[in-house]
Amino acid sequence: MGATDKLKDLALSESGFVFDPYTGSTFSANDTGRKILDGLRRGLDRDAIAAELRQGWDGVPDDLGRDIDDFVLLLRRQHLLPPDFSL
């Protein structure tokens, strides 16, 4: 199973409601979180995800990479990504 395979099986709604079919857990992601999830599912790398965020939002901080890494940590923490995953 690939590192992001589990992410691909998540049910992800427009409103940011996330359902993990393996555990039955549910989550809420905000719009930027949803965008990152979506990017990871499409196999994008860190720079490509950052570029999409800069394109879609105003006021993106210079150290955007830190926010993305932080979000990846949350996904690892919720067992949606393997513990050794990093972008």
Partner 1 sequence: MSKPRYERPVLIRHEAGLMNKFGRVQALRPLTEIDGAAVDELVAAYGSPLFVFSERTLVERARELKEAFARRWPRVRLAWSYKTNYLGGICRIFHREGAFAEVVSDFEYDKALGLGVPPDHIHWNGPYKTDAALTRALAGGAIVHLDHFDELAAAERIAERLDLRPSVALRISLSVEGVPEWSRFGFHLESGQARDAVARLVAGNRLELVGLHCHLGTFIADVRAYGEQARKLARLANEIRERHGVRLGFIDIGGGFASHNTLKEQYLPGTQATPPFSRYAEAVIEGLCELTCPAREQPLLVLETGRALVDDAGTLIATVHANKRLPDGRRGVVLDAGVNVLFTAFWYRHDVVPCQETHGTPEPTVLFGPLCMNIDVIRDSLLLPPLQVGDRIALRNCGAYNVTQWMQFITYRPAVVLVGDGGRHALLRRCETLDDVVGPEQTPPWL
**Which spans of this chain sit near partner 1 (rule: CB under 8 A)?**
18, 25-33, 35-37, 53, 56-61, 67-68, 70-71, 73-75, 77-78
Give the nearest distance from C-beta 77 to partner 1 in angstroms: 4
Nearer to partner 1, 1 or 72 (CB): 72
6-11, Cβ contacts within 8 angstroms, sequence gap of 24 or more: 6/80, 6/81, 7/37, 7/40, 7/41, 7/75, 7/80, 7/81, 8/41, 10/37, 10/41, 10/80
Give the nearest distance from C-beta 48 to partner 1 in angstroms: 15
